[in-house]
Amino acid sequence: MDNYKYFENAKENAYMTDTPCQFCGTTENCLDGVFIEGDEDYESVCLNCYDAGKAPSKIPPYVAEKVNNDPQKIKDLSDCPPVPWIQSNEWPVCCGDFGVFIGEWSNTDFDNNSEDGNGFGFLQVILADDQKPRVESFENLWNDISFEAAAFVFRCPHCGKLTAVCQYY
């Protein structure tokens, strides 16, 4: 538990629920099953049951193609808890590998992680390249984070580059 190649600190960064695990009944460290992309619908799955493969995640083909359908990378990603995507799975790739999910960030997180305390500018730098042209107003996006939008941040496991993926509710 909590030793995932592409997901940092699952107990802190995964979307948890108090609903008992549908497999073992525990209420400790239960993932909200709505975010698990699989063949079945899940309500709640504890990390122990998730790690045991009781609620397998499927990686969408368009995500697998980002790493040239590398079977080991796809397996490693499918073993990770799900990011609480609001829309579709947009797991970023850098240096030919999936990014490591380091959390959903607030404006304060952007401020604290920028070199100069300017989180607004930092968001504009690390926003996923494919999202930048679609942003009508960075100011509106900034103001919407944590209210009407979520900012999921990933770190490249090879070069350390950060990438933010923003999605609206």
pLDDT digits (tens, 9 = 90+) for 98-136: 999 999 999 999 999 999 999 999 999 999 999 999 999
Angle among Cα 162, 166, 169 to the nearest 5 degrees reads: 155
Cut 0.75: pTM above it: yes
149, 134 contact by CB (below 8 A): no
> Rounded to an integer, what distance in angstroms lies between the CA atom of residue 89 and that of residue 38?
13
Q: What is the pLDDT of residue 169?
A: 86
Spatial strand order in the sheet of 16-17: 16-17, 30-32, 44-46
Average pLDDT over residues 21-45: 96
What the block records as the tokens of 142 is 């900034």
